[in-house]
Amino acid sequence: MRLISFINALLVIVALYLLVFERDALFAFAGRGDAETETLSETDSEEVNTLASKAIGVVALRSTAREIDSAVLLRGQTKANRQVEVLSETTSTVVSEPKRKGAFVEAGDLLCELDPGTRHASLTEAKAAQLEAQSRVPEAEARLEEAHALVAEAEINLKAARKLSETGFGSETRRISSEAAMSTAQAGIKSAEAGLEATQAGIEAASAEVAAAERELERLTIEAPFRGLLESDTAELGSLMQPGSLCATVIQLDPIKLVGFVPETEVNRVIVGSLASAQLVTGLQVEGRVTFLSRSADETTRTFEVEITVPNPELLIRDGQTANIQIAAEGVKAHLLPQSALTLNNDGQLGVRTVGAENVVDFKPVRILRDTSEGVWIGGLPETTDIIVVGQEFVTRGVTVAPTYREASQ
């Protein structure tokens, strides 16, 4: 069996050799003349040339660019306009009934009220000390006036003693005694002035004590800093509050912010004040304006934070919802094509295949500007271009095609 198989294989090899390499000799042996062989060769050549010259049929779209509003597309989330944890500044127990989370509060509404304890007594004591300090002012001023009078008297005596001493009617001892009295009177003025300053300082210290006592009483009522919603319950009745203890968390959702991050390739297209719109995951469409654009990129993602302020009077938008954001930018020229017209070249670059001069295929890289239900808007092409929309996957650059054109609406 093995021998028969080997012989069959050998015969097949010999037959193939004769058909390929000894074709003319084989035809001559079979009785075909040179003329017949020549005719057959010419016919085969014509068939090959006909097949080679036959172009591939494709469907092309003659597209003209139109100007569209090129929006910057982002994915972000909603964020409360303001959020604060209202903390206690003093130590005491809560004496007010708690408010439950979700409740609406106005600026200045009472959130937590604390037990005053002896703070009113402390304020009264501080005010009494202030009055006592103020009552010492007339006495200090009277001492200062008395000191000035003593100086005037000592000055008169000193002048008289000097004149008598110069004319020889008064002793030198009297003159020296008058000068000493003058120095004592001047020292008395300085002492009275110091006493008055000490009295004024006592008044200021007492006033500071009064202000501290009043501020301590103000800390007993913890109020809402702005209009918003309670994100947590206020402190429970009877709970002990210390400096830094949480009374409540208040958030402001009207207006609300949309926060996203712009890639560095698109950041120059975003302008503060530009119109923006967004669609939330709930399907709600909202509109607002860009109110902030970061000047510093994130070190990890190399993106720039952008904030859009959106009115939310009915509080339909919640904090932390995912949003697809579109920021209006300067208009650009673009082509509307079916998504199926897009293809990749051998380098993995996204683009379209076009029909050029003499119906030769070319590849043009493009960028997607917007994806809609009607098709995709692409940029990076000339204003008028013949784009292959059917058959582009079966041709490559440099191939000649026979395009059939269709209208853009088809």
What digits encode the pLDDT tens for the residues 155-187? 887 777 777 767 766 666 777 777 787 788 788
Confidence of residue 288 (pLDDT cuts 50, 70, 90): very high
Percent of the chain clearing pLDDT 70 (strictly above): 84
Which residues, other chains included, contact 217 with Cβ-Cβ below 8 Å and sequence gap of 6+? 116, 119, 120, 123
CB 81 within 8 A of CB 225: no
Query: Average pLDDT, stretch 197-212?
Result: 89
DSSP H or E stretch at residue 56: strand 56-64
CA dist list (Å): 193 to 78, 182, 190, 214: 66, 17, 5, 32
Radius of gyration of the chain (CA): 50
pLDDT at 327 over 50: yes
| 321, pLDDT greater than 90 | yes
pLDDT higher at 372 or 76: 76
Q: What is the mean pLDDT of residues 264-281?
A: 90
User: Which ranges of 168-234 does DSSP label H, i.e. alpha helix?
Assistant: 172-218
Averaged confidence pLDDT in the chain: 83
Which two structure tokens, joined as six digits, stand for 31? Answer: 């009785």
Lowest mean pLDDT among 1-5, 75-79, 392-396: 1-5
By the 10 Å C-beta count (0-12 exposed, 13-18 middle, 19+ buried), 60 is classed as buried
User: pLDDT at position 43, please?
Assistant: 45
The percentage of residues in the chain with a pLDDT greater than 90, rounded to a whole number, is 40
Say which residues have a Cβ less than 8 Å from residue 86's Cβ, sequence separation at least 6: 111, 112, 222, 224, 225, 246, 247, 248, 249, 250
Q: Is the pLDDT of residue 45 over 80?
A: no
**What's the CA gap between 128 and 34, in Å, rounded?**
140
Q: What is the pLDDT of residues 251-268, one digit of tens each?
A: 999 999 999 999 988 888
**52, pLDDT greater than 60:** no
Q: Which of 43-52, 141-150, 373-382 has the highest mean pLDDT?
A: 373-382
Q: Is the pLDDT of residue 15 over 80?
A: no
Q: Percentage helix, strand, coil, to 5, in the chain?
A: 40, 35, 30
pLDDT at 38 over 50: no
Q: Is 192's pLDDT higher than 60?
A: yes
Q: CB of 292 within 8 A of CB of 121?
A: no
Total-model pTM: 0.55
Q: How confident is the model at residue 94 (pLDDT cuts 50, 70, 90)?
A: very high
Instruction: Compute the distance between CA of residue 53 and CA of residue 286 in angstroms, rounded to an integer.
Output: 58
